[in-house]
Structure 1
Amino acid sequence: MENINAAQLNTDIQYRFDYLSKFLNFTNDDISVLNKIAPAVVPLVPTVVDAIYGNLFSFDITKSIFANNIVHFEGSTTTTPGSLDLTPERVTFLKDMLGTYLKKVLSQSEWNKEFLDYLSHLGEIHANKAASGNVNISYIFMNATLGFAQHILLNALLSSDLGLDEDAKKAAILAVNKFFWIQNDFFTMHYISN
């Protein structure tokens, strides 16, 4: 039986990732699988991002988040949820950030502390724990968005002709699934921390 230091799980992102990876059996093979599917999946990222934002904007409660939270970007803003659509500079900026994130996850070959800090920082930002302190999004919306993103990516792997044989497709689905559980945990740790 391996001993796990509970306090260190909450203070050391590498230690936390190592534990989650062992528990979920997320290995270097999973990272390699993500890298192998990247050339086929990255071209789908703009469609995935559009689907995620389309879903976020189909509910007033999630659409209003974009009017109530200020994010660092160049361009004009609006404070009226009803006036937001998928074309303003602000949403384009956020969509670009999401696209960059998805591409990075798929193509990152070494999940070192710097990359893990990046994944963790995303949770910190959205939980209003970052230094800027200007984004405050309830966990229910982050959890739902991660779940929907996972669904979209898994559906793309299952229904698109990406040139993957059945074993590669299964490995890709398992790797994507495990990744999203790890990312969700990195969000959760910031929402429940003091």
Structure 2
Amino acid sequence: MNPYSRPIKHIQREDLYTNLEVRIQYLHSFLDFSSRDIDALISDSKYIKALIPAVVNIVYKKLLQYDITARAFTTRSTSFEGPLDEIPDENSPQILHRKMFLRAYLNKLCSDPSKMEFWEYLDKVGMMHVGLGRKHPLHIEYVHLGACLGFIQDIMNEAILSHPRLHIQRKIALVKALNKVIWVQNDLMAKWHVKDGAEFEAPDSDIEIEREGYLHGKKILDEDDMKDHTNAEGSPDAEDRPRAQGTCPFSGVSAAGASVRKGVSEEAN
């Protein structure tokens, strides 16, 4: 027997496109997402939660820098090419509303990934961005979704790795676990856009229309997670230390969206 040979796992292609649980299991196996990652996400979730207020502000500042992504907040579609009646800014009602849901979504990433419900919701997020499962359809082309996930990943990675008190091994474990979750979310965004497995698709009429933040009729997003907790704890001694509103507790990134790298370097100095 060849000592270097390994057993080959069989993956049923049709199942990847018809059974979400099988797809998640395959992704977990391929990415080596294990109990170590789950433990890192759960035990150090407070460090991610502390980033959320600043990350939300930075993300929406970025989205409003480009007409093609900003148009989604007035037309509900990034493919729309017609004139815009109104250009939203960071304090527009629709932007404040979207920020609320992004805060809740990022907090959801800090919940228990050992439950299938966690991954079902990430899949629903992907579905809702192609105009399905919502009373008022939202159409966002994949190129913008992938770029936004990469942007969020970059912000969080640098902030976690630059934390002044978190041990390097815990930083590495948390970054690895979070990155794997984001890449699964990236796949669950892409699966609703790409044509792979189209022959196995179920009719759109089979998709349940629900309110945002709900899954199978159950409320998934916590209302408290939607609020802007600018004094969220990011370190053991953070409770009594005042912090400017919307400021990242790790890297000095302001809510106005100053450069992440500039903020990190300034704090380091």
TM normalised by structure 2 equals 0.64
**Percentage identity across paired residues of the two chains:** 30
1:86 is aligned, of 87, 90, 111, to 90
1: CA distance between counterparts of 2:40 and 2:66? 34
2:19 is aligned, of 5, 12, 19, to 12
CA gap 1:154/1:80 in 2 versus in 1, 3 angstroms: farther
State whether structure 2 residue 143 is matched by structure 1 residue 140.
yes
Report the residue type matching 1:188 in the other structure: A
Aligned length: 183
* 1:114 shift after superposition: 2.0
Match of 1:157 in 2: 160
2:107 is aligned, of 103, 107, 110, to 103
Structure 2 unaligned residues grouped into runs of 5+: 1-7, 78-83, 199-269
CA gap 1:124/1:160 in 2 versus in 1, 3 angstroms: same
2: CA distance between counterparts of 1:192 and 1:120? 14
Larger radius of gyration between Structure 1 and Structure 2: 2
Contact 1:129–1:190 (Cα < 8 Å) also in 2: no
- How big is each residue's C-alpha offset from its partner over 1:34-57, in whole Å with a ceiling of 9 and x where there is no partner? 112211221220100101111111
Contact 2:161–2:172 (Cα < 8 Å) also in 1: no
Structure 1 unaligned residues grouped into runs of 5+: 71-78
State whether structure 2 residue 129 is matched by structure 1 residue 122.
no
1: CA distance between counterparts of 2:163 and 2:186? 25
- How big is each residue's C-alpha offset from its partner over 1:74-115, in whole Å with a ceiling of 9 and x where there is no partner? xxxxx6352x11112221111111111111111x22432322
Match of 2:42 in 1: 35
2: CA distance between counterparts of 1:87 and 1:122? 24
Query: Runs (4+) of structure 1 moved beyond 3 Å?
Result: none
TM normalised by structure 1 equals 0.88
> Normalized per residue, which structure has more helix?
1
Match of 2:177 in 1: 175
CA gap 1:149/1:110 in 2 versus in 1, 3 angstroms: closer
2: CA distance between counterparts of 1:81 and 1:62? 14
Match of 2:186 in 1: 184
1:50 is aligned, of 25, 36, 57, to 57
SS at 2:192 equivalent: helix
RMSD: 1.6
